[in-house]
Amino acid sequence: MEADPLEKLTTDWADYTFNPWIGCTKVSDGCRECYAHRQQDLRFGRVEWGDGNPRSRTSTSYWEKPKLWDWRAYYYKNRPFVSCGSLCDVFDPEVSSCWRDDLFRLIEETPHLVWLLLTRRISEVVQFTERLPNNVALGVSISSQDEYNRDAPLLREAALKLHPIFTFGNFEPLLAPVTLDYFTAPKWVIVGCETGPLGRFMMPDWARNLRDQSAVMGLSFYFKQASELRSGPSDLLDGAHHRNRPNTLNREWLLGHRDWLDKLLSDTGYRGPAPDCSGIAMPERHHQPN
């Protein structure tokens, strides 16, 4: 029996993947080889891609899973990342706002998870979203300099209005070189080539440039996969893994989760005075895949 495709899609840059619904419309050149379209429409026939076609909401039992992940995160004292919407776009205007409200309610009920909301419709976020749950990180998918110039300022505007934990740019598929700028660069830069049988080639220099710009600007950098020139692991850039994630244990979050912090300290045998969160500085996390 084939495994549940929703479960199979968990990716390394996140700890879990959750899809509140399935279906979308292609809105950019970067969507050309969309694997969600290939898999869920062309292969499984579960939904038809495009405007005017209904999206398919995932099951009630599937919607319960994040609560289990949240309980685990509380118990193990970590903050896993949940990639939300690998088979859809959370800010798709074809989706009823009730569905989005249900999703935001679920996000609020799972405060130990960091929900990564990634969109190609950042203008929708700026115009129509009044608030985000406080355990959300907001990101845009960017494939070229034109998209960066258009969407990075909107991401910054959305961040100023909605206060996500951090912003991120998913440069995947990266189809051209991109130059970041200090004022609009997202805090987390993720880079990957286009996958699939007709995936377009990503020049290694485009990824190197983003890696080096991230280092200069103090941004976290995550490299997902390179276009294959020869055999060997494709998640290496110049022979090295790059799997940095932004720090999410910030002062505000810790202050709001005092019981969680106390449990962490008692479980680790800490006997000193209660820490003063005001000066807390957590090191950047270097993610180790399981």
C-beta of 11 vs 266, nearer to ligand SF4 = 11
Q: Provide the CA 282 distance to its chain's centre, in angstroms.
A: 21
Q: Least CB distance from residue 33 to ligand SF4, whole Å? A: 8
Q: CA geometry: angle at 75 spanning 16 and 58, to 5°? A: 30
Nearer to ligand SF4, 111 or 139 (CB): 139
Nearer to ligand SF4, 6 or 36 (CB): 36
Residues contributing to the site for ligand SF4 (CB under 6 A):
24, 26-27, 31, 34, 36-37, 88-89, 120
Least distance between ligand SF4 and beta carbon 256 (Å): 32
Sign of CA dihedral 172, 176, 181, 183: negative
Find the shortest distance in angstroms from Cβ 221 to ligand SF4.
22
Q: Which is nearer to ligand SF4, 35 or 62 (CB)?
A: 35
Q: How far is the CB of 83 from ligand SF4 (least distance, A)?
A: 12
- Quickly count: other Cβ atoms within 10 Å of residue 118's Cβ: 23
> Given the complex with ligand SF4, which of 23 and 111 has the nearer CB atom?
23
The nearest distance, CB 24 to ligand SF4, in angstroms, is 3
